[in-house]
Amino acid sequence: MAGRGRAPKRIVGLLLAGLTGLAGLTGLVGCGGSAGTDAASADVRQVLDRRAAAVRDGSEKAYVATAPPGSVAAAERAEARTGFRNLRAVPLSDYAYRVTGFHRSGDRATADAELRYRLDGYDRAPVVTARTLSLTRTEGRWYVSDDRPAGDASPQLWEQGPVVAVRGEHSLVLGVGQSRGTLSRYAGLADRAVPAVREAWGEEWPGQVVVLVPKSLAGMAELLGAPASGYRGIAAVTTGEVSEATWGSPQPEAVGGSGQAPADRIIVNPDAYGVLGSFGRQVVLTHETTHVATRASTSAATPLWLSEGYADWVGYRGTGRTAAQVAPELTRAVLDGRVPDALPEDGDFGFGGDAGKLARAYESGWSTCRMIAERWGEVRLGEFYRAVGAHEKRAGAVEAGLRQVLDTSPEEFTRLWQGYLRDRLA
């Protein structure tokens, strides 16, 4: 919905489903297991080690030297030079390849690999993404002629163009096709969001965020590995990147109750974000920062009305906006006598459907969290969120949280919420 930051709740699960099969590959997949193939695979590992070391050392010359030599490979060397310059500004504390498969045919080969990298000062575990590398052998040595995302893996930001990096007090903003001044403004918004989220949620999270700002909606969709049509009008989303600490954990946008957070990224849609006013931009960044903070307490047991409602509650907390101002679609429904029968289902939060229905879903989640904060207190709201996320599965999680933390039942809670809507919105 335009003007609202939304988190794609199944992004992490989809990425993990596509990559988990690589996790068990501890050796190379050879072609017949011949001595020649074994020697070639060892040589390929070495050239990838040299390429990774060149990135870590900031050596363009060493990086380009891993591309094929000679005039016939001028295009490959130019592409390597461009690729290195695109990522040169990215602050990396780690960058390495692990070969998981090798397929050779004469002087050509393909290597399947995991690229592991860590943003300096922000990623507590390496991000892991699958890559496919094409290699050629010239004068007895192997060179990288192509390095691309594997299968359904999404590209990295630096594959869209030269990255500009801006560090804030609590944030790192990486952008492509954006001016440094524009990225500095994003950093300012993120730096204000972090203390606001800390005040509401607490201190048990790193208190810093990474914001990616591609050139356009198309760039955002490419980073998410999804059609652009699904995110048109969506100002920002938060994803939990696949990291070594969470490899194989089939959790949606979270590591439920594990205490281990993946490498979160707030990805901005500059097309939608650019039409917002200063107030809306701040609400969006605070909303998305809340997803980062609550990551370790969010699990498959957490319904979207709670995770999105809580993020909106933090986003609007302390702004002085009335319920009717924050929830205009829900207000119209209540005034028309259409008070919701129940809290929204996860399916009501789909990006590509009815915009009004989507708005009412988010506003319902926000109003529910606001009711809890007003009736039971902000501390209890946080305790309820954590209690629900601590369950291993969805069934019974909300019911148990209502009983244990708020001392109420689902039926009574729904009646209280409906009365709250009539009182605040009618």
CATH number at residue 34: 3.10.450.50
Of 369, 371, 367, which Cα lies nearest the Cα of 334?
A: 367
Predicted confidence (pLDDT) per residue in 85-134, tens digit: 999 999 999 999 999 999 999 999 999 999 999 999 999 888 999 999 99
pLDDT digits (tens, 9 = 90+) for 286-325: 999 999 999 999 999 999 999 999 999 999 999 999 999 9
In a domain, 311, yes or no: yes
**Domain boundary pick from 156, 186, 203:** 156
Q: Letter for the amino acid at 399?
A: E
Q: What's the confidence (pLDDT) of residue 352?
A: 67
In a domain, residue 162? The reply is no
- For residue 189, being part of any structural domain is answered with no
Q: How far apart are CA 362 and CA 326, in angstroms?
A: 10
Distance from the Cα of residue 144 to its chain's centroid: 29
Q: Which of 122, 138, 156 is the last residue of a domain?
A: 156
Domain of residue 412, residue span: 301-426
pLDDT of residue 414 exceeding 70, the answer is: yes
In a domain, 329, yes or no: yes
Per the prediction, the chain carries an average pLDDT of 87
Last residue of a domain, one of 122, 156, 190: 156
Total structural domains within the chain: 2
* pLDDT tens digit sequence for 26-38: 233 333 345 556 7
Q: What is the DSSP letter of 120?
A: T
Q: What are phi and psi of 180, to 5 degrees?
A: -65, -35
The pLDDT of residue 128 is 93
In the prediction, which pLDDT does 32 show?
38
- Residue 401 falls within a domain, yes or no? yes
Distance, CA of 125 to CA of 244 (rounded, Å): 6
Bridging pattern class, strands 108-119 and 92-105 = antiparallel
Tens digit of each residue's pLDDT (9 = 90 or more) over 331-380: 999 999 999 999 999 999 987 667 889 999 999 999 999 999 999 999 99
Give pLDDT, residue 230.
Answer: 83
pLDDT at residue 9 greater than cutoff 50: no
Collect all residues with Cβ–Cβ distance below 8 Å to 303 and sequence separation of at least 6. 343, 346, 388, 394, 397, 398
What pLDDT was estimated at residue 16? Answer: 25
Answer yes or no: is 13 within a domain: no
| Minimum mean pLDDT range among 13-27, 158-172, 336-350, 404-418 | 13-27
Would the pLDDT of 403 be above 90?
Answer: yes
Q: Any residues with CB less than 8 A from the CB of 265 and at least 6 apart, and which?
A: 210, 211, 212, 238, 239, 241
pLDDT the model gives residue 355: 84
pTM: 0.86
Name the H helices within 2-144.
11-23, 35-57, 60-64, 74-87
Least confident stretch, 12-16, 141-145, 403-407, 422-426: 12-16
Q: Work out the percent of the chain whose per-residue pLDDT is above 70.
A: 86
- 128 in a domain, yes or no? yes
- pLDDT tens readout for residues 198-231: 999 999 999 999 999 999 999 999 999 998 988 8
pLDDT at 70: 87
> Binning pLDDT at 50, 70 and 90, where does residue 241 land?
low
Distance CA 254, CA 314 (A): 18
What are 161-206's pLDDT values in tens digits? Answer: 999 999 999 999 999 999 999 999 999 999 999 999 999 999 999 9
31: helix, strand or coil? coil
Instruction: Answer yes or no: is 230 within a domain.
Output: no
pLDDT tens-digit map of 57-84 = 999 999 999 999 988 889 999 999 999 9
Model pLDDT for residues 248-281, shown as the tens digit of each residue: 322 333 333 344 556 899 999 999 999 999 999 9
Spatial contact of 93 and 120, defined as CB atoms under 8 Å apart: yes
What residues contact 221, with CB distance under 8 A and at least 6 apart? 227, 228, 230, 231
